[in-house]
Amino acid sequence: MATTKINGASWIVTVDSKRRVIRNASILIEDSLIKAVDKVENLASEQADIVIDAQNKLVTPGFVNNHMHISYAHAVRGIFPDDLPLQTYLGYVFKLQSVMKPEEEYYTSLLAITELLKNGCTCLLDPGTITSIDSGVKAIRESGIRAVIGREVVDKPNPINLHVMETNEAIKIVEEVIRRYNGELDGRINAWAMPFSPNYCSDELLLSVKEIADRAGVGVTMHMSGNEDQANSFRNQRGTSPVEYLAEKGILDKNVLLAHALAVNDREVDLMAEKGAKVVHCPSAAVRGSGATKLGKFPEMIDKGICVSLGNDAANSSYYLDPIRLMYLSAVLYKDARQNRSMIPPETAIEMCTINGASALLLEQYTGSIEPGKKADLVIFDTKRPEWRSLFNPINNLVYSTDGRSVDTVLVDGKIVIKDQEAQYVNEDDLCDRVQRIGEEVLLRTGISFKYRWTFE
């Protein structure tokens, strides 16, 4: 049995059921699990194989990112002009995605995961855009991150280059992916049903994958009304709003996680609350023209008891993958939009990115807080930095003053994956070079290029 001790942390933000923030405390880890969290003096006699000196450090639960396409964007990050219409942008995105080779998906996923881990994100949901799941699994295995994976499926023609399958084929793929991958890597991987969006899926496909997920005890995630056009086009086609439609069909449920959920009406919010459906808000993607503050009803969802978690979306939708910047946006956007300083306090923003994130992934027994019996998914911040000081209320400082640059050490499943700000499982320098080359090749292969406002000589 391997033991690790995080010794003498200045602060531990537990996010446990009492929401304790403990000063001068230590954490004892046995293999992958947290064994004890207590004041330094109460754990002073405990020895461990690995001791991490946590003086001037702050420990939080690992952050949970519930909507992050890991497999393509890092190869072509930043290529899109801001003013591309969203539909055109998505068309390019899925075209690029479709030409990725398995080895390329492995390296781009590994770089995305490395960026996530270095910013304190220990658990992600990839909404199934990866073509070679085995390439994603390889990157997850080697990096040590926790992940929910799947394969996106659609069976209706769509304007965004998503591969259209026969309904039966799509159902079979969902069944097979869950059977093959759920519980892999000692439970570090969960596999879910991932119909891309109700806009592009038939009734039969949606009903079937929900039933498959229920039988397997896993979840269903789908893109939901990420802007007004998507919500309106669904309404025009089927005569009702998408969330009402899911509720009518018996699909809206506790194991359903809706991504974006931006252009939803009050009736839809009430239905989500009634049925226990979960939401992942992607603020950094939404603020880039989708109407985060005009349309978003996230504070109201939280007031109604809906589990709202956070996600980035792909590196070309969000650009950055820093969970602290997601918390920051969540905590400031609605204060400003409603001109009401009580909207989404920083404590709630932290919950969205930890315990709510875990709960939305049906993983709250395992991760999302620091308490005995849970997996040791932990982030250790260095607080001896200008942006952290002076330090009296670490909750305010974490959400409003800092960012992922002060993440020093990260553990997932009790294993140190980031140490002294460096990935322990890969040579980052080589990885960056390789993904740059992959990007150059992918752009050549697809012939995609853009004209920018300034000339690059």
Q: Please, which residue, 282 or 418, has the CB nearer to Zn ion?
A: 282
Return the SS3 of 401: helix
CB of 437 to Zn ion, least distance (A): 26
**Pairwise CA distance, residues 360 & 264, whole Å:** 19
CB of 265 to Zn ion, least distance (A): 22
Stretch 173-192: interaction string toward Zn ion, x if CB under 5 A: --------------------
Query: 267-304 burial by CB neighbour count: b if 16+ within 10 A, else e?
Result: ebbbbbbebebbbbbbbbbbeeebebeebbbbbbbbee
Q: Please, which residue, 54 or 310, has the CB nearer to Zn ion?
A: 310
Q: Please, which residue, 259 or 399, has the CB nearer to Zn ion?
A: 259
Q: Please, which residue, 139 or 259, has the CB nearer to Zn ion?
A: 259
Q: Are 416 and 379 in contact (CB under 8 A)?
A: no
Q: Please, which residue, 91 or 372, has the CB nearer to Zn ion?
A: 91
CB of 150 to Zn ion, least distance (A): 12
Q: Are 403 and 417 in contact (CB under 8 A)?
A: no
Q: Count interface residues toward Zn ion (CB under 5 A).
A: 1
Q: Please, which residue, 208 or 290, has the CB nearer to Zn ion?
A: 290
CB of 259 to Zn ion, least distance (A): 6
**Pairwise CA distance, residues 100 & 62, whole Å:** 30
Helices 102-118 + 428-446 axis angle, to 10: 130
215 Cβ contact partners less than 8 Å away, ≥ 6 residues apart: none
Q: Which helix (H) or strand (E) holds 284?
A: helix 283-286
Q: Please, which residue, 71 or 402, has the CB nearer to Zn ion?
A: 71
Q: Are 376 and 203 in contact (CB under 8 A)?
A: no
Stretch that binds Zn ion, among 6-14, 115-123, 126-134, 396-404 (CB under 5 A): 126-134
Closest CA to 76 of 315, 282, 286, 285: 315
CB of 252 to Zn ion, least distance (A): 19
Stretch 127-146: interaction string toward Zn ion, x if CB under 5 A: x-------------------
Q: Tokens 């239905």 correspond to what residue?
A: 271
Q: State the residue number with the nearest CB to Zn ion.
A: 127
CB of 282 to Zn ion, least distance (A): 8
Strand partners for 51 = 5
422-423 vs 189-191, strand pairing mode = unpaired
Q: Please, which residue, 255 or 317, has the CB nearer to Zn ion?
A: 317
Q: Please, which residue, 58 or 64, has the CB nearer to Zn ion?
A: 64
Stretch that binds Zn ion, among 104-112, 120-128, 176-184, 303-311 (CB under 5 A): 120-128
Stretch 73-112: interaction string toward Zn ion, x if CB under 5 A: ----------------------------------------
CB of 39 to Zn ion, least distance (A): 43
CB of 178 to Zn ion, least distance (A): 20
Q: Using alpha carbons only, what angle is made at residue 247 by residues 307 and 255, rounded to the nearest 5 degrees?
A: 40
Q: Please, which residue, 137 or 315, has the CB nearer to Zn ion?
A: 315
Q: Tokens 């304790």 correspond to what residue?
A: 20
Stretch that binds Zn ion, among 6-14, 123-131, 172-180, 377-385 (CB under 5 A): 123-131
CB of 226 to Zn ion, least distance (A): 8
Q: Please, which residue, 61 or 127, has the CB nearer to Zn ion?
A: 127
CB of 152 to Zn ion, least distance (A): 9
131 Cβ contact partners less than 8 Å away, ≥ 6 residues apart: 71, 97, 98, 100, 102, 105
**Pairwise CA distance, residues 187 & 199, whole Å:** 32
Task: Report the Cα 204 to chain-centroid distance in Å.
Answer: 28
The footprint of Zn ion on residues 247-276 (CB under 5 A) is none
Stretch that binds Zn ion, among 28-36, 124-132, 141-149, 442-450 (CB under 5 A): 124-132
Stretch 358-387: interaction string toward Zn ion, x if CB under 5 A: ------------------------------
SS in 3 state form for 325-387? HHHHHHHHHHHHHHCCCCCCCHHHHHHHHCHHHHHHCCCCCCCCCCCCCCECCEEEEECCCHH
CB of 223 to Zn ion, least distance (A): 5
Q: Which residues bind Zn ion (CB under 5 A)?
A: 127
